Structure 1
């Protein structure tokens, strides 16, 4: 039994190491392949909205370590007469809607993968302020690297409640394998091309705020 456990641990370590190497290698390759698209989107955003063209925000990653996530900017900085930002719906431009619908706003996160802050597959990184609101069980979503896509994203995205989203995230943590990652990536590509279950956003915006362990929204 001890020998079997040791072999399982070794295989798990090898698989996770392969995932890290594969993530970074693929991110580097895709950044090169998608560079014309990245440059085109950057120029269009610069002309349409000016600087900055990339949205940055602190997010918690593996072991709750804080990192900066990168996405193409999709909203203006328009304010009302009192200087307060307008609602997300009012600031979201048609170009931003297209970028989100096609998931092109996520492309800068390839840099996050290359830096080792994120993986291609894992629980989506949420807001830093949510950390203190998690139950110990919910906090286990940070036992792995956050991902550009994940098990929750191919099973409902923002149509899910927070309880359902966390349940799917934890199922992924407990049942992770390289084959599961491949399946999730395949389903993600399929849903993006068919525009199935695609909401305006893929993680935080558009969801009601998570208020804590007893939140049922």
Structure 2
């Protein structure tokens, strides 16, 4: 049922978001050198690595680590990178990952391949069995502000209570938080 929900919602979102996707792609191309999309190695269901697309918000050559681990993340941003991140527009290409089946709309956010502490905690708690999501319970309860153990605790809570109703609630709250730009650091 969840897969059908994801495919229908991705198709509807794809239709409504086609123009914004094209406009953001053009903006990325015009404001910085390099490809429009950045394909990030991420950890998916059962710790399988997959390529997750995002609109490129960082300069070419930025180290492949979580943004909070960079000494001065702002110096790596493209001219529109901060706007893309704060508005979450950089996430739009992940509709492709949802259609492909690498991601769901709701689930734990996919870890970077080198976030070993997060991967280990999720594996020990069984969260690694979930399909990662565009948004999740942790994202509406703190997003970038949460320490890893707290994120995993929220991922476990989602794992234990997952339902179509909870997914719909998370999507609704994600929309509100994105519009208000709650808990976004860069």
Contact 1:131–1:139 (CA<8 Å) still a contact in 2? no
Matches within 5 A, 1:163-202: 163-200=149-186
Computed over aligned residues only, the root mean square deviation of the Cα atoms, in angstroms, reads 2.1
Q: Which residue of 2 aligns with 1:90?
A: 75
**Which one of the candidate residues 66, 69, 80 is aligned to 2:49?**
66
Report the Cα distance in structure 2 between the residues aligned to 1:25 and 1:184, rounded to whole angstroms. Answer: 17
* TM-fit CA distance, 1:22: 1.2
Map of 2:6 onto structure 1: 23
Which stretches in structure 1 are left out of the alignment for 5+ residues? 1-17, 80-84, 201-217
Q: Residue 106 of structure 1: which of 91, 97, 108 is its match?
A: 91
Q: Report the alpha carbon displacement of residue 86 of structure 1 after superposing the two structures with TM.
A: 9.0
Instruction: State the TM-score, normalized to the length of structure 1.
Output: 0.75
Q: Is residue 118 of structure 1 aligned with residue 103 of structure 2? A: yes
Aligned-pair CA distance for 1:163: 0.8
The answer to whether 1:46 aligns with 2:29 is yes
C-alpha separation in 2, matches of 1:43 and 1:167: 39
Secondary structure of the 1:129 match is coil
Structure 2 CA distance for aligned equivalents of residues 31 and 100 of structure 1: 19
Larger mean Cα displacement after TM superposition, 132-141 or 163-172: 132-141
1:100-150 alpha-carbon deviations (Å, 9 max, x no partner)? 111100000000000010000100001223358614754522111000100
1:149-177 C-alpha deviation (Å, 9 max, x unpaired): 00000001121111101100111111111
State how far apart, in whole Å, the 1-side matches of 2:86 and 2:122 are.
34
**Gaps (5+ residues) in structure 2?**
63-69
The answer to whether structure 1 residue 146 and structure 2 residue 129 are counterparts is no
Q: Distance in 2 between matches of 1:54 and 1:136?
A: 28
Secondary structure (helix, strand or coil) at the match of 1:34 reads helix
- Higher-Rg structure is 1
The residue that corresponds to 2:120 in the other structure is 134
**If the length of structure 2 is used for normalisation, what is the TM-score?**
0.87
CA shift for structure 1 position 35: 1.1
Q: Which position in structure 2 is the counterpart of 1:36?
A: 19
The total of aligned residue pairs comes to 178
